[in-house]
């Protein structure tokens, strides 16, 4: 590879803050809210033109589709976000669970209001492209935007980029599977002009269930080992219709279509169709992302044609929109002080440095189990603390987890729990003049409990 030596130059400091949160997805929103509510001068920067991450940029409605009667959750900001969306008319009941399907467009306004009310300083259309580091301590980040190349200085930086970008810039150790092993990416899309009554009558007649996820011989789109406890439960599954489309020659043999729907509005919008799965995409490679965006849109149109042909209620359906960006699931995992493992997820792992809990829920790498029993694991603070770098916490799907555990912690609800814990820890570390790696975890836990988070 050829290289170009970039000349040294003076970079203006655009802002100085106590806590800088990089990435405005679910974990970033939670981190910024919790830090600001603890009295910290907090800045949240986001590369797109809205906050919400996969909820708003990719159009993922199902923030807690795993919730059932006996599910035990962390509460706190995770539940507050969902409830605020409901009260604001930015959601509707999710069809397979006791949760809300978040409306991607309306939630942009909800996020704006929540962050503004907390006093978070927000900057959109800006990307972090490097870090400012002295020794092992981060002191800020370098950004690029329409305003040029600028610096932001901060006492604590919270990496909520999803891909551990800041940790990577800082030289923190990480792992990343080969792209052939990474979880697939998805182009989420929406359709208009759906006959809701005809569609729901068809769903009632066919009664799809979780056991259909790759179980019947006609459809090998998904290959899932579904736990016996949920095989007979209703699932908004659309796999069988795509098996018909492939048999009719409407889907190329190398293309995999199969997935689910979420909400259908009374005026005929299907706002979340999650049926495109593109494998072998490295979410940190712009060439792979470009290929996925283009191929995903192509496959979405193939999916719509199949739905029009074989799915009652979709006969006159038309594309409404694609997500602003391809939906990503997996890339870098930091090497932290503690790693969440399969043992934690399946055997109710307990950690003295817990910052919240999450239910025993598995969705990914070929396995599915819903949290139908009151079983849960602790999320250790150590999984957010990268090795070899100070003044940095990493949240969301990039925390330290093995390949099995990752299928659980990548969920948006879990990402929010990590964000709230990180924002609270950052504030307490600053107040006590300690490094985030050395913060008094019992003090952090006490504060989280006061904020109605289930820590243990």
Residue with tokens 């910290």: 40
Three-class secondary structure of residue 334 per DSSP: strand
The pLDDT, as a whole number, for residue 218 is 47
Which phi and psi angles does 133 have, rounded to 5°? -140, 135
The pLDDT, as a whole number, for residue 135 is 96
Say yes or no: domain 13-177+332-450 is CATH 3.50.50.60.
yes
Spell 223-253 as b/e; 16+ CB within 10 A means b: ebebeeebeeeebbbbbbbbbbbbeeebbee
Instruction: Please work out, in degrees rounded to the nearest 5, the angle formed at the alpha carbon of residue 48 by the alpha carbons of 44 and 54.
Output: 90
| Ranges of H-type helices in 170-320 | 196-206, 239-247, 286-310
**Rounded Cα distance, 411 and 363, in Å:** 9
How far, rounded to the nearest angstrom, does the alpha carbon of residue 46 sit from its chain's CA centroid?
Answer: 14
> What is the residue-level pLDDT of the chain in tens, covering all 456 positions?
799 998 999 999 999 999 999 999 999 999 999 999 999 999 999 999 999 999 999 999 989 999 999 999 999 999 999 999 999 999 999 999 999 999 999 999 999 999 999 999 999 999 999 999 999 999 999 999 999 999 999 999 999 999 999 999 999 999 999 999 999 999 999 999 999 999 999 999 999 999 988 664 444 545 688 999 999 999 999 888 998 999 999 999 899 898 899 999 999 999 999 999 999 999 999 999 999 999 999 999 999 999 999 999 999 999 999 999 999 999 999 999 999 999 999 999 999 999 999 999 999 878 899 999 999 999 999 999 999 999 999 999 999 999 999 999 999 999 999 999 999 999 999 999 999 999 999 999 999 999 999 999
**Rounded Cα distance, 66 and 351, in Å:** 23
The pLDDT, as a whole number, for residue 140 is 98
Beta strands 225-226 and 148-159 are: unpaired
Residues across the chain: 456
Residue ranges of domains in the chain: 13-177+332-450, 189-322
What letter would DSSP give residue 345? H
Nearest CA among 413, 62, 59, 412 for reference residue 236? 62
Sign of CA dihedral 270, 274, 275, 280: positive
**Rounded Cα distance, 272 and 62, in Å:** 9
**Rounded Cα distance, 244 and 241, in Å:** 5
Supply 197's token pair.
């009554």
Supply 325's token pair.
């960006």
Instruction: Please work out, in degrees rounded to the nearest 5, the angle formed at the alpha carbon of residue 288 by the alpha carbons of 272 and 123.
Output: 65
């Amino acid at each position: 590879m050829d290289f170009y030596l970039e000349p040294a130059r003076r970079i203006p400091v655009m802002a100085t803050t106590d806590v800088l949160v990089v990435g405005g997805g679910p974990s970033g929103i939670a981190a910024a809210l919790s830090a600001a509510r603890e009295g910290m001068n907090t800045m949240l920067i986001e590369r797109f033109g809205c906050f919400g991450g996969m909820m708003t940029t990719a159009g993922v409605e199902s923030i807690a589709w795993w919730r059932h009667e006996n599910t035990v959750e962390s509460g706190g900001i995770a539940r507050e976000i969902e409830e605020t969306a409901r009260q604001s008319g930015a959601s509707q009941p999710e069809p397979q669970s006791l949760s809300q399907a978040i409306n991607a467009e309306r939630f942009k306004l909800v996020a704006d209001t929540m962050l503004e009310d907390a006093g978070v300083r927000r900057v959109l259309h800006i990307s972090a492209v490097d870090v400012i580091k002295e020794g092992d301590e981060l002191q800020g980040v370098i950004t690029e935007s329409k305003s040029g190349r600028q610096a932001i200085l901060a006492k604590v930086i919270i990496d909520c980029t999803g891909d551990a970008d800041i940790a990577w810039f800082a030289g923190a150790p990480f792992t990343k599977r080969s792209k052939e092993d990474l979880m697939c990416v998805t182009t989420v899309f929406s359709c208009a002009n759906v006959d809701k009554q005809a569609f729901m009558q068809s769903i009632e007649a066919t009664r799809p269930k979780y056991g259909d996820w790759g179980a019947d011989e006609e459809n090998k789109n998904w290959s899932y080992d579904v736990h016996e406890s949920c095989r007979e439960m209703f699932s908004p599954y659309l796999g069988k219709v795509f098996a018909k489309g492939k048999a009719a020659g409407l889907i190329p043999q190398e293309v995999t279509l199969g997935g689910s729907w979420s909400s259908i509005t009374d005026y005929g919008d299907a706002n979340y169709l999650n049926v495109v799965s593109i494998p072998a995409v490295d979410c940190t490679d712009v060439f792979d992302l470009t290929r996925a965006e283009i191929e995903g849109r192509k496959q979405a149109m193939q999916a719509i044609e199949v739905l029009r042909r074989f799915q009652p209620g979709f006969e006159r359906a038309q594309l409404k929109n694609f997500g602003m960006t391809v939906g990503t699931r997996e890339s870098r995992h930091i090497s932290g002080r503690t790693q969440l493992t399969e043992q934690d997820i399946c055997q109710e792992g307990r950690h003295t440095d817990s910052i919240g809990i999450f239910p025993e829920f598995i969705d990914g790498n070929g396995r599915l189990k819903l949290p139908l029993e009151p079983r849960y694991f602790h999320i250790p603070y150590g999984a957010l603390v990268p090795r070899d770098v100070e003044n940095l916490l990493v949240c969301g799907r990039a925390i330290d987890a093995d390949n099995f555990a990752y299928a659980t912690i990548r969920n948006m609800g879990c990402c929010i729990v990590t964000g709230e814990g990180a924002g609270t820890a950052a504030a307490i570390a600053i107040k006590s003049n300690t490094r985030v790696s050395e913060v008094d975890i019992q003090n952090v836990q006490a504060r989280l409990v006061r904020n109605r988070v289930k820590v243990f």
